[in-house]
Chain A
Amino acid sequence: MTNLINRAKELLENGTVKVVIGYEAGPTGLARPAFITDPAKAGKLIYDDRCVQNLAVYLTKAEVKNLGKMAIVSTLPVMRSIMMLISEHQVMGDNIVVLGISTEKELLDIADIGVMKGYIEKCDLRNPEKDRETLAMLNALTPAERFAWWQKEMEKCIKCYACRQACPMCYCIRCTVEVNQPQWIPVQANPHGSTEWHILRAMHLAGRCISCGECGRACPVGIPCHLLTMQLADQVNNYFHVHAGTSDNMTSVLSTYEPNDKESFII
């Protein structure tokens, strides 16, 4: 933690960056995102088990970008998100200083994108264990049982779009659900409209989801919608042997044809 604070302070003091995006403790004890612009306030930064949000969502946010060059406290999911955002031309790698945090909560020395790539490659890129277990349970059900399980979850959906807003990969200014000519999916939060929304969201993230689980964490009514995107992350890996967010030059698996692609899913 001291290393992180010192590094953040140094970056702000020597003018390398204008803002450090990290975590601070809120008054109720929860960790929340912090945007440190004054080196004297770098001491507010924390990093512990409470720091779970994927901060990469702020890299594309207008008012955060307006602050100037950014340094960002980055656990593995944040690093993978950055790789995706660079690959999709949403951020420039040169404009971001990565304050990498290892699984042991130590500050990593991530000098550039190449070093970050090397670090990511050595990490376990599978979905988190708890989610793998739930997915295994769901995959063992019959399609009808699985559909019934999800319908029960979808009934709870209020279409607040916290899942979308929390996701670093959902950066579209105008989402498909906000287009009404034509109306692609029903606006109303009924089981039909909500199911279509979650399928659409999952499909748009296939091959792009880096398994941070942020969408499910953000959901105020407790729908585990991250399982949908994680399932697709698994399938993409099975079919195309690709883990999202492992380089700054990812091609989109679902819109790229390779002659040796398996086509077994096309009936």
Chain B
Amino acid sequence: MTDQYHNEPMLELFIFESMQLIEQMEQLIIANEKFESYDSDAINEIFRIMHTIKGSSAMMLFNNVSTLAHSMEDVFFVLREDKPQNIDSSQLSDLVLEGIDFIKVEIAKIRNGDEAEGDAAALIESLRVFHATIKAQNYTVRDQEMKDTATSQGYSAPKKQQYYISKVRTEPQSYSSSFQATLYFEEDCGMENLRAFGVVNDLGDLVKEYYHIPADLDHEDSAVVIQEQGFTLFLKTDRSLEEIHRTLSQTIYLKDLQLTQVKNCEPFEDLHEERKILLNDSAKIFASSSGERITIDQKESYSSASQQSIISVSVAKLDQLMDLVGEMVIAEAMVTQNPDLKGLELNNFEKAARQLRKITSELQDTVMSVRMVPLTGTFQKMNRTVRDMCKKLNKDVRLELIGQETEVDKNIIEHISDPLMHLIRNSIDHGIEMPSDREMKGKPRWGTITLEAKNAGGDVLIIIRDDGGGFNKAKIMSKAREKGLLQVPEDEITDKEIYNLVFLPGFSTNETVTEFSGRGVGMDVVVKNIEAVGGAITADSVPGKGTTLSLKIPLTLAIIDGMNIKVGDSRYTIPTTAIKESFRPKTTDIIVDPDDNEMIMVRGQCFPILRLHERYHVNTLVNNFADGIIIMVEQDDQTLCIFADELIGQQQVVVKSLPAYIKHTKKVTGLAGCTLLGDGSISLILDIAGLFTVKKTG
């Protein structure tokens, strides 16, 4: 297993590819399950995916994954080749999804640097049973002869893939010539069996009939045999010696190649007894090699059809590019607004500068768009959640997806996937009623959950709507009283405030804790996750009709619209989205309570004031409210008035995180990061949510 540390890039690729394939497959299964049957395209696709995963995981020495993929591949091979009728598609889906989950867990382990040691034996066993069932069904439809072949093969190699009913004709044919080739690989090339398999694969087109020693390339022991005795290949072909020689000598890590023409069929006759198995084996190789080829072809056509041409780039590189572009924007401002140019009449320079400005801003937009990813993947994943929940809870829920093409920054997508899943689980578990209850209420048997995404200015709104029972106001209230979560007098609380109580930590109304939800930790984790990306969540509900949860998340984290303010010599940036208004306060509006907390009365409402210079101990000459400015900010329905010296101006800023060293030293509450201003100076970005906690504790 030490290999994985040497093979970092390979491993990364493996993880990436496998995850992608697995997700693709999951979607296929979910989509097909709805029709309760698998069409041949899907079966082919799944077969190919499993085949690829089998191969790559074997290559990376993750044997448990590879064996499991192998058995799934077996099942789908039968489905593909024999097209059995009356298969239990829901059982099949369950099995395959279980397999997918297993592989996912293992890949997660691998990604975290743990050993993929999970045991899939039970799952493989059930797959085998299923495999046997569909095969047994099949025999009844098939003709006797085929059955004989299959069973006899089954006896001869019970653990092997008995079902590879040879596609090549079993009658020996006379080809123009036969060759015997022995290949030796370099000692340290490793994985000789797979390399030998590659050789066979390469020959696929040229050769009519062949077998090789060792015969079973799937087994790891064969690698040792090849290493010691070389890989011997007998083949019949109508191609010339040169052609075969040329193909074989292209093999990588090839140390020695002996190719001789042998008398027709001699070795084939010698091994007459083994013929059946050998042919079976070669057929298997044929089958799998053709399978592989199809994979490549299909992959290409698939990607060209639906994804244009795509390369995968690591997000770190994109971040770097983003940073560079951000710097360029600043550098551009430094050049074009250079103080040395002041008062000079430079028509040509102005023209060139304008051009530069245009290009840099276009560049910035393009880089931003590169980071944007449609929500499709995240939304599609929810299908699976819904399916599993429905099975477990015996509910009937349909998921409707709207606007899944909405694009969001990659970093944000990663943060909202889990919260979304949790919210949907909650909706199914607590929201949607049992089918019988629904019928009694005159609703359709099946519940509907709508997952909708849409752009709203600089934000993306994700709305999760269900037509379940809705929130129970009384229940929420009593629960909140019980837990002491009420902060507002009970008779003043609005419906909306009641509904939003569910987001508070330690709140859960479901009496029974289920596997999926109800521990009361979920909701506040959801809220935390959403807030981590600068988003917000609100709930609304109509009793008996359903619940609507709205998630407001920013499009991107990398660039924000900010208002720059000045306090003493320091500059701060407040995200414009948080700002409600700014105004010059009148001294008469200021109220000071006995604890010296300053407050301001605005249109009859009282808001706390936070003096930024006091909070961050900045020296400033502006101490009187009349001289400075008040910026009213709002976050999560809380409002705060920030007192600063003056406003500098509004600007789009590139968010940079504080240096690692500073972050290690202390986590400064209320600071979200920093940014570079046009003149090259640094401004600190305020974290409004953080300021509230500061206000409370300090």
Q: Do A and B bind each other?
A: no
